Amino acid sequence: EELLMYARAEYNDLPIFLYGHSLGGNIVANYILQKNTNELQGAIISSPWFELAEEPAEWQIKLAKFFSGVLPSLTQSNQLDINHLTNDDQVNQAYKNDSLVHGRISTRMFTECYQAGLWALENAHKNKIPLLIYHGTEDAITSANASKIFTEKAGDDVTYHQWEGVKHEPHNDFKKEELFKTILKWVLDKSE
- Quick one: pLDDT at residue 74? 83
Q: What is the domain-level CATH number for residue 88?
A: 3.40.50.1820
Phi, psi of 113 (to 5 degrees): -70, -40
User: 168 with 85: CB under 8 angstroms?
Assistant: yes
Q: What pLDDT, in 10s, does the model give residues 95-144?
A: 999 999 999 999 999 999 999 999 999 999 999 999 999 999 999 999 99
Q: What pLDDT, in 10s, does the model give residues 40-98?
A: 999 999 999 999 999 888 988 898 888 888 888 988 888 899 999 999 999 999 999 99
Share the mean pLDDT of the chain: 94
Q: How many domains, in total, are found in the chain?
A: 1
Please give the C-alpha separations between residue 34 and each of 28, 98, 126, in angstroms, as whole numbers.
Answer: 10, 34, 8
Buried b (16+ CB within 10 A) or exposed e, 21-58: bbbbbbbbbbbbbeeebeebbbbbbbbbbbbbbeeeee
- Give the Cα separation of 24 and 36 in Å (integer): 18
Domain that holds residue 180: 2-191
- Quick one: pLDDT at residue 143? 98
Predicted TM-score (pTM) of the model is 0.92
